[in-house]
Structures are given as structure tokens and as C-alpha cells.
Amino acid sequence: MREWLLPRKMLLIADKAEHMNMAQRVVTASLMLHREKALQRSDLGMLIGRTYLSLACVIIAGASMAQSSGKIRLQIDPPRTFTYKLDHRFTMQEADLELLEGAHHFSFWAPQRKVVDTTITMVGGTDKVFSLRLPFSTEYLVYQRDLRSYRKDMRVQRLLPVSATGLSLIYTAVKFGQLKKAHDKLESDRTAYNDATSPYAITYLKGDVIPVHKDEFDKARSGYRVAVGITVLFAGVTTYMYLRSAKRAKPEFHDAEKVRFDGLSWAPGVNGGEWNCGLTWNFTR
């Protein structure tokens, strides 16, 4: 608090007098500054005169500046990322403050949230808790809606074809397994033919067994070709959908409330609106 109430040099002096109240610190600091300047001029008489004058000022200021302060604790949602401007001048993030009594203006803001302006009146010597939930900004809600829509479209355009392609690949693998099995049967028939020790066994093998197995192989091969065709089709569709969906830009969130909070704002109007810009400089730093 001292940091924004007092000039830097005075702060250094005031730090030495922690036990004083605010008004006493101001006057004491003023007195000590006067003493430093007087010593530089080496004018002892003037120094004594000014010292008495300053002592008089202390008495007068002590009576006239008996303004007390109060403490306030800010409970803001979101608790970690909120920022506020105090009295349109000082940008701060501290949750615990000690303020002079009277009305103080606060502008609260957090990423993705709206700027909320409010005035808090401090009563001297009292502690206060201020709770506020910053509402989400309209831009963020629109961004969330667009993002949901984008993700849904991505699911439809990417996940669905990929899933279909994956299933068709599994189907192809199953069909290949059947084809391999049918092929193995024919290979075993060939081995059985070479090893046959009976003319009848050969006749039965060539007349009955092998034709049946060839038929099974032909069917399995047809099924496998169909499965490969489906997989190729789905792979093509997936590639096309990927390329198509890649052209769609992912929604980006531009926090207009931050611009507003930082001092630059867009005011829409009949003829297109205008930019408004505010500049705040903390001279106490």
C-alpha cells in the first residue's frame, strides 16, 4: 500500500517508522526531506527555523490528516489469475489490501472472464472480505461453442473414417486369416498327394478333397479382395477427409476483455465504430 501512496524517497523514510500511522509518516517524511535540503545549504539558522516550522506542521498535519485505513481481503474466482485496477490507476494482483477509508474503484479481470467494475467503500479500522465470481466473457463462450463445433466436426471428419478404416483393416485381417487357412489346406493336399500310398487315396484327393478346398480358397480369396477393396476405399475417404478438414482453421480465442482491461477497446458504431485507448502510468514507481 505504501508503494502507491507515497513517492519512493518518502517510502524509504517511512519504512523506518513502522509504528507511526499514515498521516504521521507523511509529515515525518516531509520534515526529514526539509532537513536534508537545509543541511546541504549549511545554513544553521535557517535549519533551526525550518525545523520549528516543520514541527508546527507535524502538529497541524497530525490533527488534520487523521485519516484511518481498513483492510480488505479479495476472494475472486478464479483465485490465481485475476487482476484488478485500483482507482483506475494501479494494476495489482494482491488479495489482501490496506486502503484509506472512503470509496475505491476496482476493475477486476481474469483471462477468459469479463471485466467487472465495482466501487468498494472502506470504513476506517475495519476488516472486510469481498467475494466475486468473474463471469465468462461472451467472446470466450462463443470460442467454446466454436471449439466444440470444431471438435465435433473433426470427430466426424477424421475419427469416423479412421475408425471405419481400422475396422475394415481388422475385417481384412480376418479375411486374410481365412485365405491363409484355405491356402494351407491346399498345401497340405499337395503334401498328401506326394505322400499318398494308395491309388484310391489319390483319386479321392484329386476328385473330391482338392476341388472342395479350391472352392473354399476361391471364396476366401474373393472375400479377401473385397475386404482389401473396402479398406482401400475407406483409406481414400480418410485421406480425403483429412485433407479437407485440414483446411478448416481451428478456432482461436482472442481475449477482447483483456484489451478492454488493458485500456484498448473497440466501440462499434453506425459507421464502423472506433478504437478507444487509455494509458495508465504509475508515477510512484
Partner 1 sequence: MNRAFLFILPLALSLVGCLKDDVDPAKLTSNPLDQDYDGPALIELVSDTTRIVYDGLNPVDTVVEQIINVRADLLAPGTDYKLYVTLVNTGAVFDYSSEIPPPQDRAYHHVVPGVAYCYDYQLVVQFSRTKAYRFCTTANP
Q: Which residue, 69 or 165, has its beta carbon nearer to partner 1?
A: 165
Q: Which stretch binds partner 1 (CB under 8 A): 40-48, 51-59, 222-230, 266-274?
A: 222-230
Residue in 28, 54, 69, 231 binding partner 1, rule: CB under 8 A: 231
Contact 70, 125 (CB under 8 A): yes
Q: Which residue, 207 or 272, has its beta carbon nearer to partner 1?
A: 207
Residue in 176, 237, 245, 264 binding partner 1, rule: CB under 8 A: 176
Containing 275, the helix (H) or strand (E) segment is: strand 274-277
Dihedral (CA of 221, 222, 225, 227) sign:
negative
Residue in 5, 34, 189, 265 binding partner 1, rule: CB under 8 A: 189
Based on the shown chain and the rule CB under 8 A, indicate whether residue 171 belongs to the binding site for partner 1: no
Based on the shown chain and the rule CB under 8 A, indicate whether residue 218 belongs to the binding site for partner 1: yes
Q: Which stretch binds partner 1 (CB under 8 A): 22-30, 99-107, 230-238, 249-257?
A: 230-238
Contact 189, 215 (CB under 8 A): no
Q: Which stretch binds partner 1 (CB under 8 A): 7-15, 103-111, 140-148, 173-181?
A: 173-181
Based on the shown chain and the rule CB under 8 A, indicate whether residue 199 belongs to the binding site for partner 1: yes
Based on the shown chain and the rule CB under 8 A, indicate whether residue 214 belongs to the binding site for partner 1: yes
Based on the shown chain and the rule CB under 8 A, indicate whether residue 272 belongs to the binding site for partner 1: no
Contact 132, 78 (CB under 8 A): no
Q: Which stretch binds partner 1 (CB under 8 A): 45-53, 191-199, 250-258, 276-284?
A: 191-199
- Beta-bridged to residue 70, according to DSSP, are 99
Based on the shown chain and the rule CB under 8 A, indicate whether residue 203 belongs to the binding site for partner 1: yes
Based on the shown chain and the rule CB under 8 A, indicate whether residue 235 belongs to the binding site for partner 1: yes
The pairing of strands 69-77 and 127-133 is parallel
Please report, as residue ranges, which positions from 123 to 162 form the binding site for partner 1 (by CB under 8 A): 162
Q: Which stretch binds partner 1 (CB under 8 A): 132-140, 145-153, 190-198, 251-259?
A: 190-198
Burial 138-166 (b: 16+ CB within 10 A, else e): ebbeebeeeeeeeeeebeebbeebbebbe
How many residues make contact with partner 1 (CB under 8 A)? Answer: 41
Residue 218: Cβ-neighbour burial (10 angstroms; 0-12, 13-18, 19+): exposed
CA–CA separation, 97 vs 32, rounded Å? 28
For residue 248, the minimal CB distance to partner 1 (Å) is 17
Dihedral (CA of 90, 93, 95, 96) sign:
negative
Containing 128, the helix (H) or strand (E) segment is: strand 127-133
CA–CA separation, 85 vs 108, rounded Å? 7
Based on the shown chain and the rule CB under 8 A, indicate whether residue 264 belongs to the binding site for partner 1: no
Q: Which stretch binds partner 1 (CB under 8 A): 76-84, 93-101, 174-182, 249-257?
A: 174-182
Dihedral (CA of 201, 203, 206, 208) sign:
negative
Positions touching partner 1 (CB under 8 A) are: 162, 165, 169, 172, 176, 179-180, 183, 186-187, 189-190, 193-203, 206-207, 210-211, 213-214, 217-218, 221, 224-225, 228, 231-232, 235, 238-239, 242
